């Protein structure tokens, strides 16, 4: 088998992967290679033809293809090896790390890489992950599949649409169907609040007169060959179905947009990399503030690390992972081995904190998600006596807290806690 040697192997050529590769190259690393399963670079972005990308990174409101084209061009101008139609199917940690790559038409190739950056994105939860019962008929699509059919292949998946899940992807697809003349009967959300950004609730549903039903879910699909209707029902506070609220909603298409999870399907990670620690809260790897996983010289970024709201955050994370990978090659004694990593703790009202470990030696941006929507709150970090006021927090909107090295270098841990603003004179 052909064996190829690289300094940095980036697995996945979406926004995170390209940002990581470009940053490693900028740090003067010689052999940087991107391995991408698809036939072109870009990840999910080429099919996201709506605006809303790049507001933080470029300070411009771009469509997905416009945003990613800038990175594709930069990668093309740099001396980064791009291997499309190349799926990393196995990964074995070591010195060097070994990757088994399946290249269409060319067969299998082994790659030995000093460092690996995992940026394989996330996957959508399908019908069987959602335990959705009923007939096995045509007309059930995940939102990403429907988006690809419409915006890459030019195929309209249906005319009368029900959307399950009000995350950003579901909201954007509800609007996309309405724009193409379909009737969107409603977006059904099991939680008592929307799952997506507030700006998307307004711009995608309210502006198009599409109803949003909260505390309701789809429990059954009915149809002989094609979907003919779905049964929806209210849920109680423990998400149990309230039987006497069952209603039939006529439709020919059900769009599933009920959650994304970091994509671990490929590569198959072999021992000892099997030992990469996973955070149950994010379903992604545990990382330190260099975005290095529990396996030295193996880094992670983007939606594989945690499901992000915006491509801007994904890009910043890719850049940090690329920079860290470059540094780990330049300082081969692996400075991270000599660091005593300390823990971050998601405290009261906080679902997760990334990175999960910090050194106290550098400034860190912490990414947090809250458990439920709240107004006028403090995010308190008692160990360092700091707190940050937030007018409103929502599970759908990532909270970012920037802390400086001098504030965190003495503390053995950091816990992040939500507390409600108390008015003066009141207990
Ligand atoms: C419908 C929709 C609407 C969105 N709207 C917005 C918006 O308005 N504004 C905004 O900022 N963000 C938005 N986003 C979010 C943003 O697009 C994503 O967060 C970002 O593009 C994710 O980048 P990524 O590189 O982490 O993952 P991806 O783009 O998913 O890239 C991962 C890549 O890895 C490849 N891969 C996976 N496994 C392997 C393997 N084993 N070997 C080789 N390659 C592999 C995949 O083929 C893919 O190309 C939206 C996303 C969607 C789906």
Which domains occur in the chain, in start order?
A: 2-123+261-338 (3.50.50.60), 126-258 (3.50.50.60), 340-427 (2.60.40)
Q: Which atom of ligand 1 is nearest to the CA of 311?
A: 11
Among left, alpha and beta (phi > 0; psi -120 to 50; other), residue 389 is beta
Considering Cα of 25, then 31, then 37, then 41, what sign does the dihedral take?
A: positive
Q: Which atom of ligand 1 is nearest to the CA of 47?
A: 1
- Does the C-beta of 299 come closer than 6 Å to ligand 1? no
- Does the C-beta of 88 come closer than 6 Å to ligand 1? yes
Give me the long-range contacts of 390-396 (CB less than 8 A, separation at least 24): 393/418, 394/193, 394/198, 394/370, 395/191, 395/193, 395/195, 395/351, 395/369, 395/370, 395/371, 396/167, 396/168, 396/194, 396/195, 396/196, 396/197, 396/198, 396/309
Q: Which atom of ligand 1 is nearest to the CA of 16?
A: 25
This prediction's pTM: 0.93
Q: Are 175 and 151 in contact (CB under 8 A)?
A: no
Ligand 1: residue whose CA is nearest its atom 23: 15
Cis-peptide, bond into residue 345, ω within 30° of zero: no
β-pairing, 253-256 vs 140-142, is: parallel
Q: How far is the CA of 405 from the centre of ligand 1 (A)?
A: 31
Q: What is the pLDDT along the chain (427 residues), one digit of tens a residue?
A: 889 999 999 999 999 999 999 999 999 999 999 999 999 999 999 999 999 999 999 999 999 999 999 999 999 999 999 999 999 999 988 888 999 999 988 899 999 999 999 999 998 988 888 888 899 999 999 999 999 999 999 999 999 999 999 998 999 999 999 999 999 999 999 999 998 888 899 999 999 999 999 999 999 999 999 999 999 999 999 999 999 999 999 999 999 998 888 877 666 666 555 668 899 999 999 999 999 998 889 999 999 999 999 999 999 999 999 999 999 998 865 555 668 899 999 999 999 999 999 999 999 999 999 999 999 999 999 999 999 999 999 998 999 999 999 999 999 999 999 998 665 544 4
- Does the C-beta of 188 come closer than 6 Å to ligand 1? no
Would you give the DSSP letter of residue 38? S
Q: Residue 112's closest CA among 18, 28, 1?
A: 1
3-state SS assignment for residue 420: strand
- Does the C-beta of 264 come closer than 6 Å to ligand 1? no
Q: Buried b / exposed e across 128-161, counting CB within 10 Å, b at 16+?
A: eebebebeebebbbbbbbbbbbbbeeeeebbebb
3-state SS assignment for residue 164: strand
Task: Count Cβ atoms below 10 Å from residue 95 Cβ, excluding itself.
Answer: 10
- Does the C-beta of 119 come closer than 6 Å to ligand 1? yes
- Does the C-beta of 17 come closer than 6 Å to ligand 1? yes
Per the listing, tokens 């190349």 go with 86
Beta-bridge partner residues of 420:
377
* 25: Cα within 13 Å, side-chain hemisphere: 21
Return the HEC string of 184-234.
EEEEEECCCCCCCCHHHHHHHHHHHCCCEEECEEEEEEECCCECCEEEEEE
Q: How far is the CA of 410 from the centre of ligand 1 (A)?
A: 37
């Amino acid at each position: 088998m052909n064996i190829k040697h690289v300094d940095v192997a980036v697995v996945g050529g979406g926004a995170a992967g390209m940002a990581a590769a470009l940053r490693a190259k900028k740090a003067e690393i010689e052999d940087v290679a991107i391995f991408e399963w698809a036939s072109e670079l870009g990840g999910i972005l080429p099919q996201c033809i709506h605006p809303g990308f790049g507001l933080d990174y470029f300070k411009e409101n771009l469509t997905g293809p416009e945003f990613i084209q800038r990175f594709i061009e930069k990668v093309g101008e740099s001396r980064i090896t791009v291997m499309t139609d190349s799926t990393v199917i196995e990964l074995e940690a070591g010195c060097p790390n070994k990757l088994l790559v399946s290249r269409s038409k060319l067969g299998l190739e082994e790659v030995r890489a000093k460092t690996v950056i995992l940026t394989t994105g996330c996957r959508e939860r399908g019908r069987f992950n959602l335990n959705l019962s009923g007939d096995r008929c045509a007309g059930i699509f995940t939102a990403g599949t429907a988006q690809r059919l419409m915006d890459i292949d030019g195929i309209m998946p249906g005319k009368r649409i029900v959307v399950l899940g009000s995350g950003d992807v579901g909201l954007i697809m509800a609007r996309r169907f309405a724009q193409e003349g379909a009737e969107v009967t409603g977006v059904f959300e099991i939680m008592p609040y929307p799952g997506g950004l507030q700006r998307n609730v307004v711009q995608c549903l309210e502006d198009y007169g599409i109803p949003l039903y909260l505390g309701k879910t789809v429990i059954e699909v009915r149809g002989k060959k094609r979907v003919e209707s779905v049964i929806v029902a209210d849920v109680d506070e423990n998400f149990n179905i309230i039987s006497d609220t069952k209603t039939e909603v006529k439709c020919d298409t059900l769009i599933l947009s009920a959650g994304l999870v970091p994509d671990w399907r490929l590569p198959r990670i072999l021992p000892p990399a099997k030992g990469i620690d996973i955070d149950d809260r994010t379903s992604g790897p545990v990382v330190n503030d260099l975005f290095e996983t529990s396996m030295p010289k193996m880094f992670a970024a983007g939606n594989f690390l945690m499901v992000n709201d915006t491509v801007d955050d994904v890009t910043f994370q890719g850049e940090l992972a690329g920079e860290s990978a470059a540094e780990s090659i330049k300082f081969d004694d692996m400075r991270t081995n000599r660091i005593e990593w300390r823990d971050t703790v998601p405290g009261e009202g906080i679902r997760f904190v990334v990175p999960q470990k910090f050194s106290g030696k550098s400034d860190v941006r912490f990414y947090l998600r809250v458990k439920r929507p709240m107004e006028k709150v403090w995010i308190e970090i008692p160990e360092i006596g700091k707190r940050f006021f937030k007018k409103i927090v929502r599970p759908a909107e990532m909270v970012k807290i920037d802390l400086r090295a001098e504030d965190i270098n003495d503390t053995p841990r950091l816990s992040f806690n939500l507390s409600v603003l108390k008015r003066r004179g009141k207990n």
